[in-house]
Structure 1
Amino acid sequence: MSYKKIAVIAGLVILVVCGCLVYLRDHVLVENRDIPELTDISAAYQANEEIATAKSKLEEGIAPAEVITTLPAGGNCVAIVIDGLPDRPLAARMVDVLQKHHAEATFFVEGQNAADDVETIRLLRDAGFELGNYTFVGLAGFDNVSQDKQIQELCRTQKIVSVRSAFIPTLFRAPRTVFTDALLQTVHAAGLPYAVKENVRVPRHVLGDDAAADAYVAGIVDGSIIAISANRPVERKADTEGKIDERPAIDMKPTIQDAGEQAPLETEDLANELDRLLTALEKRGFKIMNVNGFRKIRYIPANATVAAEQAASAVSKDAAEKTQGGEADGQ
């Protein structure tokens, strides 16, 4: 064999070896280097700096978050909010349904599920849907937990969603929760300027066919915010104060749960029910818009109004009694 052929073969071998090294660098070694960024999110779970900042804002007396609520009649608009992060197959079908109807929707996601299922988070963001903060585990009765717990749940969720999606939520919801002044202050301190209050909550299994969907939608008024639950809320454990069940809600079937009742398990795909709902809304001429377009108000809970009225009544009664007592003394 001539030296020329040997040189050519050696050159080819060197090229192959270099190619293999480049492939290992770009595909194997880089992937291994990136794994901690995708899987090690312990820092995101803690959110210590964010929690400290939120506590400082509360000490400074931050204003309560505003509440996004229904629109006055006349716009022929409604908004859709999805409570809980669906598992990926269901999320993909729901995205297909929403895109088919050219409908907006906001997905309120649990921080724990966002951490565990980054692919679904990316799916929703790539499709252009907004993400909201649904607490770390979708905790029911969020107004009844301690302020420290509220801050931890909200800040951890904020950080995880921002890390996983490069999107920082501005909207808050929690299942079966009263928007008290104290809670809304905590929400705002955690970096969420708005909370969303629905006026329609669609029960599962009432949209079994097109006729049922048409009948249900007939009762929905213009300017409504319509909530659909994709996950069962997480309840606080009554036997252990302050302890909650932090199981991933993503492992549960999409369902809706009324207060004090065990939610039924899913018998039909939620995406089909969403399709029927949107079809029925379209028949009535409703436009499904982003909830951010609805009005934002300084919210006062109904029970707070009653308490204020009772306090004012007590003051008036006390004043009247003192006046009558003074008159009696003068006589």
Structure 2
Amino acid sequence: MFLPPAVWFPVALYVALYVGRRLALFLRGDANVGLLLLGRLREGALDGRVVWITGASRGLGLALARYYARQGAKLILSSRKIEALEKVKAACEGSHAADAVLLPVDLSDSAEALSKAVDSAFAAFGGAGVDYIVHNAGVGQSGLAVSNRAEIVEPIFRTNTVGPIVLTQLALPKMMEQKRGRFIVVSSLAAKIPTPGQTVYSGSKFALNGYFGALASELADSPVGVTICCPGPIGPGEGESPRVLFGSDGLQQDNLRPSGSAVPADRVAELVATAGYYHVLECWIAKHPTLLYPYAMRYCPSLMWWFLMKFGQRRAKARVAGDGYSLKKILFGKSD
């Protein structure tokens, strides 16, 4: 027996609109569909919240500081150089921007030094505690594994993995005591897909995701939570000089050319803050074709592994040459 149009037509229309909206977001979006469906934060959504940002001196760190400040947050800004933090503070606008606390931190320091930084952060603003710790500090890497010197491994893992974990271990009891707080981890899509040409970097981010994923499950029934953000290529800020990363022999200037799939730093900052506000467990931030990779790894892992085995060498060499996100270079470049 066929249902009358008055019954099936509204249902079909709803399904079409539901699927169509998600398909449009997937095709045109700059993040995974689940995050984009949440929309933008209302103005002042984070008013009075205390946000501690590591790696706040440039790039995404600067963009995060400016976005949180515009949303009314009280900022604690950390990086190694106080002079750079002063410039970031001056660039922020918001009801509490002028009161931002500058807290120099080097994630490669000892646990004792990081413990003092944690104590200072939680004592800021009259002992208000910390609502969000944004683990943004990190260092990049580019080089073929066969050429990488062993000496670059430890400092990369110290900054990208060990430092954030130690800082979290020190801050977690304080968050549990204050019965609120969230760790927002700026990881990488290199933590979701093994990334040729960035083996040490990819390994450090996989380890970071492993720790915070396990931590999230331990905290599932507590007032403290975890959000893991995995951006792909991020566009440089206006007038920003190339960042410094680890090459095969040590620190060098990044030669990566701008990518069409790069998401502007200001937009990444907005998406990261949105994910943290809505208690998203994990999000991916990138444009196509880069955004396809985590989807492929999750839903068609065999296909993604075939792609890596087929084109991984080309991607590695393209990354070292500065074209690591050029799909044309990866698919059709020379592999000899």
Query: What TM-score does the superposition give when structure 2 sets the normalisation length?
Result: 0.34
Bigger relative contact order (CA 8 A; separation at least 6): 1
Query: What TM-score does the superposition give when structure 1 sets the normalisation length?
Result: 0.34
Larger Rg: 1
